[in-house]
Chain A
Amino acid sequence: MSSIVSVSSLGKAYAGGFEALKSVNLEIEEGEILALLGPNGAGKTTLISTICGITVPTSGTVVVGGFDTQTAFRGARNLIGLVPQELNLEPFETVMNTLRFSRGLFGKPRNDAYLEDILKKLSLHDKKDSKVMMLSGGMKRRVLIAKALSHEPRVLFLDEPTAGVDVDLRKDMWNVVADLKADGVTIILTTHYIEEAEAIADRVGVISKGEILLIQDKAEMMAQMGKKQLVVDLAAPVTKVPAALAAYGLEIGPDGASLIYTYDTKGERTGITTLLNDLQKAGLQMADIQTRQSSLEDIFVGLVKETA
């Protein structure tokens, strides 16, 4: 078994009876980056909070690194770093002191050099003696990340780590994540930026209404569910698809200036060659052709709509 986090039949009903998680099962492999996608209110934060010990599960178990989070919480929590979604920080303390506090809370001996190193990686070193309240929102987000890393976790949960972080720094952050992965840290992140999941995750899970709809290797998912489209720009616009081409299920693009052919990449034959031949036979002049691959976003939106 190489699962470092093992979630079995996890259920969570908040006071008032709302079921935020419905019997979730999830195995997270050591060293992987798992991205959790899902609409607002899907239960992503609840899932993370329950694994980390902030909320108490109503049913089911969570085992982290062999430690049950309920009965052996010390062992489990020692391994976990958490970056919460909200910017929850002590405003009156300096950045460095909040990091020292976090590290100490996890029982680790003081090591300022290590903490400063984290701050450097997150481009925050020049703010180390600033009070937290004097930082911008994006900087606070990075302080939260630094706090989570301060005690050298083996499993890192990032709940929307890049919300409110500018594009340059987002790239920096991805580099930090890549470095952590290289060190063998397991990373679970939630995000609403699908390109982010696409860029850094090994596996992607889609969660909606407290249930995991799908969890799969990112490349596999895109290959299986990803549809590719061939767009043929026409020299002269058409108003309808010629009868001879009916079998291809073509769509007409904007203003009739193009024809769009959707095909499945996992199929043996894509049908592109015959289509192009048939187009020519039908007397249509092609100005340009291009293909495009559907993104995780299309897959995600499709999935969530299906279950809505």
Chain B
Amino acid sequence: MNFTAVASIYRFEMARFFRTITQSLVSPVLSTSLYFVVFGTAIGSRIQEVEGISYGAFIVPGLIMLSVMTQATSNASFGIYFPKFMGTIYELLSAPVNFLEITLGYVGAAATKALFIGIIILITAFFFVDITIAHPFAMIAFLVLTCVSFSLLGFIIGIWAGNFEQLQLIPLLIITPLVFLGGSFYSVTMLPPVWQTITMFNPVVYLISGFRWSFFGTADVSIGLSLIAIAFFTGACLVAIWWIFRTGWRIRQ
């Protein structure tokens, strides 16, 4: 294992993040604050409690997940797409590194950035609503796992994308709807029975449910199922990446 290489990639990618730290952080904090003002305060004051939790507090885990998932995906996809676009990928391909090391470097950096943003949003949330975290360690674990698994997904998208439009396409067409329909702003139990069943095919439901459980101790689906779902998702992404590097798909001619 070439750890020096992993660290080099990680550091190089983090440098990109810190170069644009203001943009990187201002926009998620701003948009989250807007959500709190609109949903939490304005609309939330008219909504009854959901599962015994004030609506403003109820949406906090969903909001964090929403940002973390989109940020992890876009960071990781851009991180690997950019070298492809600039041609600097030649260096990765000719270096003594294997797929695991490249993935660790890029995905690690993207996940760190997303985690950073998730934590900032959590801190922002404390300014708007009262929240207590029932299971802090589980909360961190769910957050980290989500950052990692969506960074893996983003990494795959970045390798697949042939242009900037495609880079935006998957997050826009698939991830955003899945996240919005995954119970970010409502409890799955609020849906009609048919939709409750359909929703169970949305992997994001398991992540948000598990994450919300770590805050409030209540969940839409069992916590064990949440963990299995996230492990399965992560594993599937890893297998896909391993296959990509083995076959050179879209990167090695």
Given A56-B252, A82-B90, A84-B90, also A106-B95 (CB < 8 A)? yes
Given A15-B253, A54-B252, A92-B19, also A107-B87 (CB < 8 A)? no
B interface, over-half SS: helix
Binary flags per residue of A66-92, CB closer than 8 Å to B gives 1, else 0: 000000011101101010101011111
Q: Which residues of B contact A56 (CB under 8 A)?
A: 248, 252-253
Q: Is the CB of B96 within 8 A of A74?
A: yes
In the complex, residue of chain A having the shortest beta-carbon distance to the beta carbon of B12: A101
Binary flags per residue of B75-98, CB closer than 8 Å to A gives 1, else 0: 000000001001110111111111
Least distance between A210 CB and chain B CB atoms (Å): 15
Q: Which residues of chain B from 16 to 73 have any CB-CB distance to chain A below 8 Å in the complex? A: 16, 19
Q: Is the CB of B253 within 8 A of A107?
A: no
Residues of chain A at interface, number, CB under 8 A: 35
Q: Which residues of A contact B2 (CB under 8 A)?
A: 74, 107
B238 at the interface (CB under 8 A from A): no
Binary flags per residue of A134-170, CB closer than 8 Å to B gives 1, else 0: 0000000000000100000000000000000000000
Q: Is the CB of B93 within 8 A of A88?
A: no
Q: Which residues of B contact A78 (CB under 8 A)?
A: 96
Q: Which residues of chain A from 17 to 55 have any CB-CB distance to chain B below 8 Å in the complex? A: 49, 52-55
Q: Which residues of B contact A108 (CB under 8 A)?
A: 4
In the complex, residue of chain B having the shortest beta-carbon distance to the beta carbon of A151: B95
Least distance between A72 CB and chain B CB atoms (Å): 10
Least distance between B115 CB and chain A CB atoms (Å): 23
Q: Is the CB of B96 within 8 A of A73?
A: yes
In the complex, residue of chain B having the shortest beta-carbon distance to the beta carbon of A12: B253
Given A54-B252, A92-B16, A97-B15, also A109-B91 (CB < 8 A)? no
CA distance in complex: A103, B8 (Å): 8
User: Among B19, B86, B96, which residue has the most Cβ atoms of chain A within 10 A?
Assistant: B96
Given A92-B19, A147-B91, also A105-B97 (CB < 8 A)? yes
Q: Is the CB of A102 within 8 A of B15?
A: no
CA distance in complex: A86, B89 (Å): 12
Residue from A80, A91, A104 within 8 A of B4 (CB atoms): A104
Q: Which residues of A contact B16 (CB under 8 A)?
A: 92
A100 at the interface (CB under 8 A from B): yes
Given A56-B252, A100-B8, A107-B4, also A90-B93 (CB < 8 A)? no
Least distance between B85 CB and chain A CB atoms (Å): 10
Q: Which residues of B contact A93 (CB under 8 A)?
A: 12, 15
B5 at the interface (CB under 8 A from A): yes
Q: Is the CB of B12 within 8 A of A97?
A: yes
Q: Which residues of B contact A88 (CB under 8 A)?
A: 86-88, 90-91
A14 at the interface (CB under 8 A from B): yes
Residue from A54, A74, A100 within 8 A of B93 (CB atoms): A54
B7 at the interface (CB under 8 A from A): yes
Binary flags per residue of A174-204, CB closer than 8 Å to B gives 1, else 0: 0000000000000000000000000000000
CA distance in complex: A54, B19 (Å): 30
Given A52-B94, A77-B94, also A105-B8 (CB < 8 A)? yes
CA distance in complex: A294, B86 (Å): 42
Residue from A14, A86, A97, A102 within 8 A of B91 (CB atoms): A102
User: Among B9, B15, B88, which residue has the most Cβ atoms of chain A within 10 A?
Assistant: B88
Q: Is the CB of A53 within 8 A of B93?
A: yes
CA distance in complex: A73, B88 (Å): 19
Q: Is the CB of A54 within 8 A of B15?
A: no
CA distance in complex: A14, B253 (Å): 7
CA distance in complex: A147, B92 (Å): 12
Residue from A77, A86, A91, A97 within 8 A of B95 (CB atoms): A77
Least distance between B202 CB and chain A CB atoms (Å): 36
Given A92-B19, A105-B95, A107-B96, also A54-B8 (CB < 8 A)? no
Q: Is the CB of A55 within 8 A of B253?
A: yes
What are 9 A-B pairs with beta-carbon distances under 8 A?
A52-B93, A53-B252, A54-B252, A78-B96, A82-B94, A90-B88, A92-B19, A105-B5, A105-B92
- Kindly list 11 other residue pairs between chains A and B, CB separation below 8 angstroms, not including A86-B87, A100-B8, A105-B8: A14-B253, A52-B93, A53-B94, A78-B96, A88-B86, A88-B87, A90-B12, A104-B8, A107-B4, A108-B4, A147-B91
Residues of B within 8 A of A (CB): 2, 4-5, 7-9, 11-12, 15-16, 19, 83, 86-88, 90-98, 248, 252-253
